[in-house]
């Protein structure tokens, strides 16, 4: 049984959502402020986090950033504002999906199941390790090193890097990356891929404007030599 954590300060909303998710067969834990939620993620063994942006003590963006320093657990961010900037910021700091309130619970459940299915992407060719130039990728540890120094990547950044590094020379369109990494039922658009590739380049390239690892084939997509 998958274990979920809801971090949201709206008590009635949380109770209703918890009941709906439990009826779907999930085990559900809750936290009503950012600090408590972060503590639970550190101590608990969860499969996915549902994280509101507007939280007391520690906002959702801060919670997400901190989680990404020690875990690649899937995160779905919630907001009542429906502002595109929230979605962009959430994606950049490591959220896997984004949903604006109010939303249909069935849609949330579909996204949860999709993320859980993709926790280990079957389309990525798995090896124990990959070396590309000065990059060393240890797949079992989900760790990336450059010149011996570890590079911290989000879950999706890591999946993109492994996919491209496992298939050198193969060009992947943004739509194809969206399907393989996020899944065909992801509700976002190809801007999500653009943001993730840009952030990935900023982390692994000496000069992101003149990449040596992830290249763009204009009008086609991304590839690694």
CATH architecture type of domain 129-224: Orthogonal Bundle (1.10)
Both tokens of 141, joined, read 């540890």
Provide the 10 A C-beta neighbour count for residue 57: 14
Instruction: With beta carbons less than 8 A apart as the criterion, state whether 72 and 155 touch.
Output: yes
Tens-digit pLDDT profile for residues 68-81: 887 778 899 998 76
Which comes out higher in pLDDT, residue 55 or 225? Answer: 55
Residue (of 117, 148, 155) closest to 131 by Cα position? 148
The domain limits of the chain are 3-117, 129-224
Tens-digit pLDDT profile for residues 145-201: 998 889 999 888 999 999 999 888 889 999 888 888 887 556 667 788 999 999 999
CA dihedral sign of residues 161, 165, 169, 171: negative
The H helix count followed by the E strand count for the chain is 8, 11
| Mean pLDDT, residues 20-36 taken together | 95
Largest CA distance in the chain: 53
CATH code of the domain occupying 3-117: 3.40.50.2300
Distance CA 7, CA 29 (A): 9
**Is the pTM for the entire model greater than 0.75?**
no
Which comes out higher in pLDDT, residue 119 or 68? Answer: 68
pLDDT number for residue 100: 86
| Mean pLDDT, residues 57-76 taken together | 88
pLDDT number for residue 107: 92
| Mean pLDDT, residues 128-155 taken together | 87
């Amino acid at each position: 049984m998958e274990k979920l954590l809801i971090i949201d300060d709206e008590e009635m909303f949380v109770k209703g959502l918890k009941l709906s998710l439990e009826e779907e067969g999930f085990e559900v834990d809750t936290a009503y402020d950012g600090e408590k939620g972060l503590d639970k993620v550190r101590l608990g063994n969860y499969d996915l986090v549902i994280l509101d942006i507007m939280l007391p003590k520690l906002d959702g963006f801060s919670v997400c950033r901190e989680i990404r320093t020690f875990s690649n657990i899937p995160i779905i961010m919630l907001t009542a504002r429906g502002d595109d900037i929230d979605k962009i910021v959430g994606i950049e700091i490591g959220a896997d999906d984004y949903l604006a309130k109010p939303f249909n619970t069935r849609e949330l459940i579909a996204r949860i199941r999709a993320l859980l299915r993709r926790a280990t992407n079957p389309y990525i060719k798995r090896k124990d390790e990959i070396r590309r130039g000065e990059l060393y990728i240890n797949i079992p540890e989900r760790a990336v090193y450059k010149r011996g120094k570890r590079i911290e990547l989000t879950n999706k950044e890591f999946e993109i890097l492994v996919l491209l590094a496992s298939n050198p020379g193969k060009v992947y369109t943004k739509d194809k990356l969206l399907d393989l990494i996020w899944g065909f039922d992801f509700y976002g658009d190809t801007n999500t891929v653009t943001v993730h590739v840009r952030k990935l380049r900023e982390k692994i390239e000496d000069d992101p404007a003149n990449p040596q690892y992830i290249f763009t084939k204009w009008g086609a997509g991304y590839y690694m030599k």
